Amino acid sequence: MVDNVPTALAAEQQGHLQKALKRFDILFLIIAAVISLETLGQVSVFGAEVLTWALVLAIAFLVPYALIFAEVGAAFREEGGAYTWVRNAFGRGAAAIAALLTWVTQPIWVGGSMAFLAAETVNTYLFPLGAGSFADYAFKLVFIWITVTAAIVSLRRGKWLPTVGAILKIALLGFFVLTTVIYAFQHGVTGLTAGDFSPTLLGLFGSVPILLFAYLGFESSNSAAGEMVNPARDVPISIARSAATAALCYLLPILAILLVVPTDEITGIGGLLEAVGVVYSVYGSGAEVMGTITAVGFVFVLVSQGASWMIISDRMQAIAAADGAFFGGFFGRFNRRLGTPVRVNVLSGVVSTSFMLVAMQVTGTSAAVFAVVLSISISTFLLSYLLVIPAAVRLRRLYPELERPFRVPVSDRGFAALGYLSFAWVLLGSWIAVFPGTLERRFGLDYDFRETWGVSQAEFETFTLGTLGFLLILGAVGYMRGARVRQHAVAIDDNPAPALDAARTEGHA
């Protein structure tokens, strides 16, 4: 059996998919997932130079990365997205690891970072929860399972939570930037100088993993490619528009935060809302009410963001399971009525809940827990791209005859160069995320681990490497348990990737 031939179970599940995503839906699903409000404060703690590095990465990483996946996403349109790309390029074993790392990032992130940020927002700006109280636990559980429920219901209904959240997110950021301009005219800004924007190695090593995490994921909607009405046409346009929107939604708010909040007063867990509290003073007696409304909107945006990733990543993992790459096919079934992978959705909820409970036991402040768990999410997400990016590059060489509705206007070597550049950035970010402080010390830079992270290095590495080690074992066991499913491949002549024939047919239709 050829290793990249889909299994009979995977082919069967394609019949349960419902065409529900049009260009409008794809665009806002990507925006809801990729533009991460929680990273704004975390990255702003590095001061004005982070704006320089954000601009550098927008040009030297985001542009080539978006071009690569606009081409690949339009040409390879199977449900499962990056999983199927890695499988077609390197085989099912590599694809199993890539899918697992991508998928597990989301429940870890939702349960270990976003739920904490939402709870902190409620506790600070709405009503007291009490750290570690019953109300605190209950709120985080409700937050997690709302995101899971949005992924369980049919896509025709579930897509509206991310869509509304994406629109609200853009509106909230736009209003914040506008208010900052008004505030600056009335009260002035912090004393930033041109020298504050000068890039340094310390700023590079500190901010690059977070910025990469913020810029990655535009191709993620292809996990639901089988549920798109016209992916060949809509994917490239959606990636281009969402990438441009993301660049603006990061660069402008980061600048706004830096202009009104002194760097030494910015906290990673509350950076955006701290800045909101400052600039809303221009509204006088209405500031408190507007702040409350903004906090409610902020929590809703976080819920919609978590839901969008659950919708996207759970589909990828379900296809991996149906393809014999994650246990024996139990998690690879889509509900006939809903058209959603309910079993993986529930599994994501369980993993997210478990990680939330473990994170609650980590010593340190809420801000420290948030930063550590966000770093773990960053590490698993970035590591997956060490397989996904080379796969995207290799697919152009392996399938030159495949019609590409959008083609990057460069040679194959030029396309590979774009991939190498993107890969180099991800490799750097992955190392820093897993082993923070090592490069700083290598270059003779001062680095106080506990002051930076709020926990000891031993505690950080135990949590991080323990998570990665557990995932490695889980992936190996899951792949071995899928052997029986892999024995039943779809029989199609000698074509190693039968779904590509369907893509060709669709492209000529």
The structure's pTM equals: 0.86
User: Measured in whole angstroms, how far is the alpha carbon of residue 478 from the centre of its chain?
Assistant: 23
Percent of the chain with pLDDT over 90: 38
Model pLDDT for residues 467-483, shown as the tens digit of each residue: 899 888 999 999 999 88
Model pLDDT for residues 239-275, shown as the tens digit of each residue: 999 888 888 888 888 888 888 776 665 555 556 777 7
Quickly tell me which residue has 């810029």 as its tokens.
215
**In this predicted model, which residue has the larger pLDDT, 3 or 401?**
401
Under the banding of pLDDT at 50, 70 and 90, the label for residue 19 is confident
Model pLDDT for residues 325-368, shown as the tens digit of each residue: 998 788 999 988 888 999 999 999 999 999 888 877 764 555 56
- What are the b/e assignments for 361-380, b being 16+ CB within 10 Å? ebebebbbbbbbbbbbbbbb
Q: Is 80 exceeded by the pLDDT of residue 190?
A: no
- Determine the pLDDT at residue 270: 58
Under the banding of pLDDT at 50, 70 and 90, the label for residue 382 is very high
Backbone angles phi, psi at 497, to 5 degrees: -140, 80
Burial class for 493, CB neighbours closer than 10 Å (0-12, 13-18, 19+): exposed
- Determine the pLDDT at residue 493: 39
Mean pLDDT of 143-168: 91
- Determine the pLDDT at residue 108: 85
- Determine the pLDDT at residue 328: 79
Number of Cβ within 10 Å of residue 108's Cβ equals 27
DSSP type of residue 487:
T
Backbone angles phi, psi at 123, to 5 degrees: -65, -35
